[in-house]
A and B are shown apart, each in its own frame.
Chain A
Amino acid sequence: MKRPWILLLPLIMGFSGCLKDDLDPATLTSNPLDPDYSGPALIELVSDTTRIVYLGGMPADTVVEQVVQVRTDLLPAGTDWKLYVTLVNTGEVFDYGSEIPPPDERPYHHVVPGTSYCFDYQLKVQFSLTKAWRYCTVAQP
């Protein structure tokens, strides 16, 4: 008669021990769409350049441009996204479709040589933004 009661103790302890709350939101950073994402960069800088724009054979402007690549292989299949670019120095925002626009559509104009120009790149998915990747380029003389 006593044995079932004795067996009850480890049973209850076992039940309670196997269910733990080990889910910490702060440690969830593996989803590339998470604003706190900590994995490989979703948007990578391919190249940057300082270019002189000529108008009628005469130099009209000096611009800073960057070429970036979106790592779609990190995204869930079929994710519909838009590129969202902020020119940090001016506050200008460019909201593009899923096609990466050519770099000359979002350059810094009239740059001052030796100054650093930064771009924040984000993906817009279902009207909300991912983490921003900031890449800066120093304008060349």
Chain B
Amino acid sequence: MRVPAPYRFLAVFSVVMAASGSFAQGTGKVRMKIDPEANFEYVVDHRFRMRQLEVELATGTHHFSIWAPQRAIVDTNVVVENGRTLELALRLPYAQGFLVYQRELQAYRSRRRVQRLVPAIATGGTALWAALSYAKMKKAHDRLEDDRAAYTSGGSPHQIGVLKAETIPQHKEDFKRARTQYGIAAGTTLLCAGATAYLFWRTGKEKKPGFIDTEKIRFDGLSWTPGPNGGTWQGGLTWDLTR
């Protein structure tokens, strides 16, 4: 977000005024080359909060507190020389809290993946097994139906005798085995589905780690926001009631 021109002017003017204490002193520029390029903010000399990429300051040493979301505040001093533009190149390190949050989030996602994906895959596997078992059982059942048709159209006593004494009993045994296997597969699928549903329900209640940017709170406490009628100091105090 860019600061409107009147405020920016007011800020620069204030900085120049405050830093120099006299109009006679020269000025120089500081160009900000910060990583991350977007969203970073800084406070000059513990007072002036800014966002612009370039700032004009009175010559001399100035203190910069630079911050960006998820990053730690970096404090540094910059010596501004008369008529010169100084480039401040800096990579803001990630805040310790953010790194902890990242670790917790990663662990949360891994845990969730294990608790949801693994049982879901197991359920899928057992469902596939049940489907194959069902297909096998259906095939065995179809063979029995074929036997029934073969009996009706049977053209010789011997053929019918073999069908009734050997073929049909064998196919009945095959069907019985296939049905038992299907029962086991279907039962296993139901168990896995139940376990998966339970784990989905349980992991659904687990709270996702949140990130509280403590560096931002600290940085906001450093800031001073210029307004049309002067400026306001801001400060923040947080109390985590969940602990």
**Interface size bucket, A side?**
20 to 34
**Interface size bucket, B side?**
35 or more
Q: Which of A2-31 contact B (CB under 8 A)?
A: 2, 5, 8-9, 12, 15-16, 19, 21, 23, 25, 28, 30-31
B50 interface residue (CB < 8 Å to A)? no
Q: Contacts A19-B137, A25-B168, A36-B164; is A126 near B155 (CB within 8 Å)?
A: yes
Query: Residue among A9, A30, A34 with the most chain B CB within 10 A?
Result: A34
Q: How far is the CA of A5 from the CA of B190 in the complex (A)?
A: 8
Contact of A30 among B144, B152, B155, B182 (CB under 8 A): B152
Contact of A126 among B156, B164, B165 (CB under 8 A): B156
Contact B200–A1 (Cβ < 8 Å): yes
* Inter-chain contact total with CB atoms closer than 8 Å: 89
Contact B193–A33 (Cβ < 8 Å): no
**Chain A 53-90 interface mask (CB, 8 Å, partner B; 1/0):** 00000000000000000000000100100000000000
CB-CB under 8 A from A126, the residues of chain B are 155-159
Q: How far is the CA of A25 from the CA of B172 in the complex (A)?
A: 10
Contact B141–A127 (Cβ < 8 Å): no
**Chain B 156-197 interface mask (CB, 8 Å, partner A; 1/0):** 111111001100110010011001001100100110011011
Interface of A is mostly: loop
Contact B164–A9 (Cβ < 8 Å): no
Q: How far is the CA of A47 from the CA of B172 in the complex (A)?
A: 45
Contact of B148 among A23, A35, A36 (CB under 8 A): A23
Contact of A9 among B130, B147, B190 (CB under 8 A): B190
Contact A21–B172 (Cβ < 8 Å): yes
Can you list 19 A-B contacts with CB-CB less than 8 angstroms, sorted by A residue number?
A2-B201, A12-B190, A19-B141, A21-B175, A23-B144, A23-B172, A25-B165, A28-B151, A31-B152, A31-B160, A33-B155, A33-B160, A34-B154, A34-B157, A34-B161, A36-B164, A79-B155, A127-B156, A128-B158
- Taking A8-B127, A76-B155 as given, write out 16 further A-B residue pairs in contact, using a Cβ cutoff of 8 Å, ordered by the A residue number: A1-B197, A5-B193, A16-B179, A21-B144, A23-B168, A25-B164, A28-B168, A31-B154, A33-B155, A33-B156, A34-B151, A34-B164, A35-B160, A76-B153, A126-B159, A127-B158
